[in-house]
Amino acid sequence: MPDSLNVALWGPSAAGKTAFLAQLFRRYSNFASEWEIFPTADANRFLEIVGSEIDRNCFPKATVVSDTISNVAYLFRHRNSGKEVALVVEDRPGIESEELTEEGKKRLNEAHGLILIFDPERERRSLESQIEQTLRKLYVAANRGTQKDERPIAVCLSKADRLIETAIDLQRAVDSPREFVLEKITSDLAAWLGRYCRNYELFPISSAGVRLRHGIVEPAIFLDEQLMLRMGSEGEPINLMAPFEWLFDRIGTDQNGGRL
């Protein structure tokens, strides 16, 4: 692949990675973006498994697909320049996902950029601790000494639809993602990010999204007769491409300052 550029995606179990990856391709492969999305063989198997679940309005079960998305998931191609970026997903079942294996830390540290996904429904201090520990483990594994990570790192809070109550909330989540996220987390998180990372951004994301009707925000998820959570088909996902576009813009410059 030209230039061997790649970004890595990681998140602890139940953070929403599976639905995120599925909706990213299903809803945005023909999106009016500068970047096209193409599946790899692994991604094709993954989409076959989760696609039928989403068609039934079910949230995909991460444990079913954990072995199929541990390698390259998608290829992105810039429509004008033709440059390609591979998305590598570091995903392991159960406690391995929480702890990050040595192989996983190596893979994440070798990527040109990172997308880290966390569940905002965790208690605020617990969420902050999980993000800080993830960054610290990667920092120590990379043996950076006193040097900050120079790579672009997108820190995403999933399930943002549950944080959005009004049309103003929705607009702010899209137009001012950093400020929206900072309001939902502890004030110490930015300090931790600044300690380890020189170039980071915050994004609220949602695979299910919300419905906006006549200026009123309506949830796109619902409980069925068995009280199982379902994903409605009319929801508009939130910020699924935004972290990638932000990352690609920042890793798309060579060492001499030219555009790739």
Segment 33-56, tens digit of pLDDT: 788 899 888 788 888 877 777 777
CA 49 to chain centroid, in Å, comes to 20
Range of the domain at 92: 2-251
pTM for this predicted structure: 0.85
- Note the pLDDT tens digit of each residue in 209-252: 898 888 899 888 766 767 677 777 778 899 999 999 999 989 86
Contacts of 198 (CB under 8 A, 6+ apart): 148, 149, 150
Distance (Å, rounded) from C-alpha 63 to C-alpha 60? Answer: 9
C-beta of residue 2 within 8 angstroms of C-beta of residue 84 = yes
Most confident stretch, 5-9, 25-29, 122-126: 5-9
Give the sign of the dihedral formed by CA 131, CA 176, CA 82, CA 17: positive
DSSP three-state, residue 237: strand
For residue 253, pLDDT over 70 is answered with no
Query: Token pair of 96, please?
Result: 């391995």
Q: Given this model, what pLDDT does residue 41 score?
A: 84
CATH of the domain at 71: 3.40.50.300
Q: Given this model, what pLDDT does residue 191 score?
A: 84
Examine residue 232 and state whether it is found in any structural domain, yes or no: yes
Examine residue 257 and state whether it is found in any structural domain, yes or no: no
Distance (Å, rounded) from C-alpha 20 to C-alpha 206? Answer: 7
Examine residue 260 and state whether it is found in any structural domain, yes or no: no
HSE (CB half, 13 Å, CA atoms) of 55?
6
Examine residue 142 and state whether it is found in any structural domain, yes or no: yes
C-beta of residue 206 within 8 angstroms of C-beta of residue 157 = no
How many structural domains is the chain composed of? 1
Length of the chain: 260
DSSP three-state, residue 205: coil
